[in-house]
Amino acid sequence: MSANLPVRAHRIAADIEALAAITDPHRPYTRRAFTPRFLEGRDHVRRAMVAAGLETRIDAAGNLIGRRAGSEPGTGTIAVGSHTDTVPDGGRFDGVAGVVAGLEIARALRDNGVPLRHDFEVIDCLAEEVSVFGVSCIGSRSIAGVLPPEWLDRIAPEGGDAAGMTLYEGVRFVGGEPERLRTAKRGDLKAFLELHIEQGTVLEGERIDIGVVSAIAGITRIEVIVEGRADHAGTTPMGRRRDALVAASDFVTRLDALARQRAVDGEGHFAATVGEFRIQPNAANVVPSEARLLIDARAELREGMDAFFRDVEGLAAGIAAVHDVTVQPPRVVSDNRPTPSDDGLLTEIEAACDRLGATRRRMASGAGHDMAFFARVAPAAMVFIPCRDGRSHAPEEWAEADAIALGAAVLYETVIAIDAKG
């Protein structure tokens, strides 16, 4: 199919390989934001933007933007983008595929002589991954105008390229102007589109070309503390213990069963994981007196998250009674609501898939993306393309150039359709 597409898979592959070569030695594929290696990658993208006929700039928040002016100034901007920073020892495609897809769309528009009334931009967002400052989506949060000003005072820990640097200094390091951060907020965006590898196995397993992302799941983190009693591990009879770890382990097992049932019976995407688990006093010869666990729950629909939290409260009370321990009321540590994609853009994306003969299905994203923040200031939507075995944030991460090209072609068609509708 790629031979008949308006975009070129070989150019996409060349860009991805070029960026993959820009990595910390012996740590493929690592280009963390706020490091010299990240700036090397950024320079490659900037030069590619210029070669594609785009006018480049770095906004106040440190986002790299390539712009092609439309024929009717003031009608707004259609943007495509993602990010080029990586996690440590990360992959070649997470974020990068979306930026490279935007570059290829710009080249295809030029090569095919397609005029646009709207301005068109390719955006490489700053620090979508969790950065050395402990926070993520710095560039897209700024575009949405929701980056907390106090974050600029955060300091990178010792031991890395950015050691001792503040986020204020980091934004300046990449070419931004943190003193003018408010000017990064956008009010001119007609639409924002993002391509990303799925980071899961649904598309590959079902042999489907394109995932049309209906929403980015909300993420709620819930702390549960189980309090038992410390006793001597050798002398306390088994029947007289108030073991916090035993109670907490039972809680986790039952929670997993609840989450699995909700994923099957509920509406939309749902997943829950206990990813942190700590006990006190954590000594081999002492019955655990306390266990703290942190639940990471993700739901496409808010109603599903609310129902799950009620389930957690009920489970906590039940565990306390069964094991003769105290379970503190579950506490919400952080709570980000789901971000639905724009219905109009989803319709245009699906129509583009049909015109190109690409198979498609709607699906939610269980991971966060820059699109969630763009959606606060503009209609926004995403497409997923398959990745091998669902691997991501690992050196083995892989997506075929033809698959990325098909996704880019879908967005190319969508851009033209949005532009035509005004």
Rg of the chain on CA atoms, in Å? 24
Task: State the pTM of this model.
Answer: 0.93
CATH annotation of 2-216+338-421: 3.40.630.10
Predicted confidence at residue 162, as pLDDT, reads 87
Within 8 A by CB and 6+ apart from 41, the residues are: 19, 22, 31, 84
CATH 3.30.70.360: which residues of the chain?
Answer: 218-336
For range 197-215, the mean pLDDT: 98
* 129 has binding-site annotation: yes
Domain 218-336 has CATH 3.30.360.10: no
Q: What number is the average pLDDT over the span 359-386?
A: 98
232 is in an annotated binding site: no
Task: Establish whether 10 is an annotated binding residue.
Answer: no
Residue 275 has which token pair? 């990813």
User: Could you write out the three-class secondary structure of the chain?
Assistant: CHHHCCCCHHHHHHHHHHHHCCCCCCCCCCCCCCCHHHHHHHHHHHHHHHHCCCEEEECCCCCEEEEECCCCCCCCEEEEEEECCCCCCCCCCCCHHHHHHHHHHHHHHHHCCCCCCCEEEEEEECCCCCCCCCCCCHHHHHHHCCCCHHHHHCECCCCCCCCCCEHHHHHHHCCCCHHHHHHHCCCCEEEEEEEEECCCCHHHHHCCCEEEEEEECEEEEEEEEEECCCCECCCCCHHHCCCHHHHHHHHHHHHHHHHHHHHHHCCCCEEEEEEEEEEECCCCCECCCEEEEEEEEEECCHHHHHHHHHHHHHHHHHHHHHHCCEECCCEEEEEECCEECCHHHHHHHHHHHHHHCCCEEEEEECCCCCHHHHCCCCCEEEEEECCHHHCCCCCCCCCCHHHHHHHHHHHHHHHHHHHHHC
| Burial category of 216 from C-beta neighbours within 10 Å (exposed 0-12, middle 13-18, buried 19 and up) | buried
Say which residue the tokens 């069964």 belong to: 322
Asked if pLDDT for residue 86 goes beyond 80, the answer is: yes
pLDDT of residue 421: 93
CA separation for the pair 173, 35 (Å, rounded): 9
298 is in an annotated binding site: yes
Residue 168 backbone zone (phi > 0: left; psi -120 to 50: alpha; other: beta): alpha
Q: Write down the mean pLDDT value for the chain.
A: 97
Residue 112's closest CA among 412, 341, 361?
Answer: 412
The whole-number pLDDT of residue 156 equals 94
What are the pLDDT digits (tens) for 234-279?
Answer: 999 999 999 999 999 999 999 999 999 999 998 899 999 999 999 9
Q: Give the integer Cα–Cα distance in Å for 318 and 327.
A: 9
pLDDT in tens, 310-326: 999 999 999 999 999 99
**Has 207 been labeled as part of a binding site?**
no
User: Nearest CA to 289 among 300, 299, 278?
Assistant: 278
Parts of the chain belonging to CATH 3.40.630.10: 2-216+338-421
